Amino acid sequence: MSIKAIFAIPFAKFATKRVSKWSNKPHKTQDKVFKKLISKAKNTAFGKDHDFKNIVSYNDFKDRVKVTDYEGLRAYVDRIVAGESDVLWIGKPLYFAKTSGTTSGAKYIPITKESMPTHIKAARNALLFYIAEKKDASFVNGKMIFLQGSPILSNKNGIKLGRLSGIVAHYVPKYLLKNRLPTWETNCIEDWDTKVNAIVEETMNEDMSVISGIPSWVQMYFEKLIEKTGKSISELFPNFNFFIYGGVNFEPYKNKFENLIGKKINYIELYPASEGFIAYQDSQTAKGMLLQLNSGIFYEFIPANEFYQENPTRISLKDVKMGMNYVIILNTTAGLWGYNIGDTVEFTSTKPYRIKVTGRIKHFISAFGEHVIGKEVEKALNDSILNTNTTISEFTVAPQVNPENGLPYHEWFIEFENEPNNLLEFATKIDASMQAQNIYYLDLIAGKVLQQLVIRKVKKGGFHEYMKSIGKFGGQNKIPQLSDDRKIADVLQNFLVD
């Protein structure tokens, strides 16, 4: 065992004990974060505009700061982009994380000297919790790969600009640099096909122990490895025992992954966003991810079913309940205030506070008043493939409001790796699960407003071709798993099985 592996276990125990100190005092921790945020930002342009100096309670804050999104803060962000200091947070940001928005075009999310370390620390702690629980740090001896965007950064009025994953690539600890793949040169390749092929060449003869990335893109990497070598992933990498992922619900991909790998492995789920590192999986047995209460983020929550009401309920951590679907709102040391990142979450535990991501508040189907959310379609699909040989590469769902014949329906576009024996029977299973979960959907089916869902088979590689066609192939780009319109569905008609 290497020196790194020997020292990793006691260090992991030390780090997890430090996390326990704040996770066992959640409300006190959040109160402290709240007061620090208000105090530090009171002399910023935003703080002055919203009377931060007279805020002494959370209710004061709610009275002064409205829930908003990027467009709501854009006037302030544009001032920062133009070079102004002390606008949303003290000083200037270290970076802008560039993301794409559906309504805003390019978005420039500030990352400050106070917020940047929390991204690194949370990712590190996720690994340390795994080491502490398993009492095994042998993976640090092997090679590690993180499928991510290019680390090449540009400049915006003296502030470095890039994708979050590319920014984070500059903060890999020195003790991991020798173990890290791909090489810097390969990581800088912009074209995703070329990049993955280069990564395959660099890694196929290495002792890979940790692999991380968005499941759909890691799946592509695995398939190319198998095509190149004719071996399963476990044959190529016998010491590969856990996969780190984030950004999507992994359950629908799990069967496909384990078939590609050739064995069951452990998983670590992360919840990183350009706006802040929100949560990570701290246990292989407990459900959900540990909410990061000590990372310069004060959290607020709005019940998802009230979000579009005129005066929705807006609460802090101390008033949340398990089993409810909430829109998560952030206030951060990067100067984001009352900020809706668009995600919905559900608490799986309150001692400590753990969450799971249930979807996107804008990603739903309610063309007929059914209020279908991401969690429901994911569960329905997972229920239907359970204990079968059916495996799925990718999927998305949209309403078909004006079919040529018959009643309207939900249209499921699915790319199968292994198809079910009977597609109609498979669709019936999914539909039954949807009806069991969603009473509105049940009523629409029973009332003959909707007919049973219809499955469209997307050809193998079809979703990748679709992403290429819209210029979002690779990196951190993901397919929305449901939408209330036909924008994706109509284009996917070009990628169906003939």
Give the DSSP per-residue string, 126-153. HHHHHHHHHT--GGGGSEEEE-------
The type of residue at 493 is Q
User: What are the per-10-residue average pLDDT scores of the chain (498 residues)?
Assistant: 74 94 97 98 98 97 96 95 96 90 71 95 93 89 84 91 88 78 88 87 93 83 93 94 82 80 92 94 95 98 89 96 94 97 93 91 79 86 90 91 89 93 94 91 87 94 87 70 86 90
Position 103 scores a pLDDT of 46
The type of residue at 246 is G
How many helices and strands, by DSSP H and E, does the chain display? 18, 20
Domain ranges of the chain: 364-495
**How far apart, in whole angstroms, are the C-alpha atoms of residue 89 and residue 111?**
10
Position 250 scores a pLDDT of 77
Q: Beta strand 242-246 with 266-273: parallel, antiparallel or unpaired?
A: parallel
- CA 138 from centre of chain: 27
User: Look-up: residue for tokens 């608490």?
Assistant: 347
Q: DSSP per residue over 256-271, as a string?
A: HHHHHHSS--EEEEEE
Position 370 scores a pLDDT of 83
Position 254 scores a pLDDT of 79
**How far apart, in whole angstroms, are the C-alpha atoms of residue 305 and residue 204?**
48
Alpha helices in 358-473 (DSSP H): 374-385, 423-437, 439-446, 462-469
**How far apart, in whole angstroms, are the C-alpha atoms of residue 123 and residue 279?**
9
Cα angle at 242 between 238 and 245, to 5 degrees?
A: 135
Q: Which helix (H) or strand (E) holds 250?
A: none
- Give the alpha-carbon dihedral of 417, 423, 427, 430, to 10 degrees: -40
Position 102 scores a pLDDT of 45
Q: DSSP per residue over 429-443, as a string?
A: HHHHHHHHH-HHHHH
CATH number of 364-495: 3.30.300
Among the listed residues 316, 350, 330, 320, the one whose alpha carbon sits nearest the alpha carbon of residue 57: 316
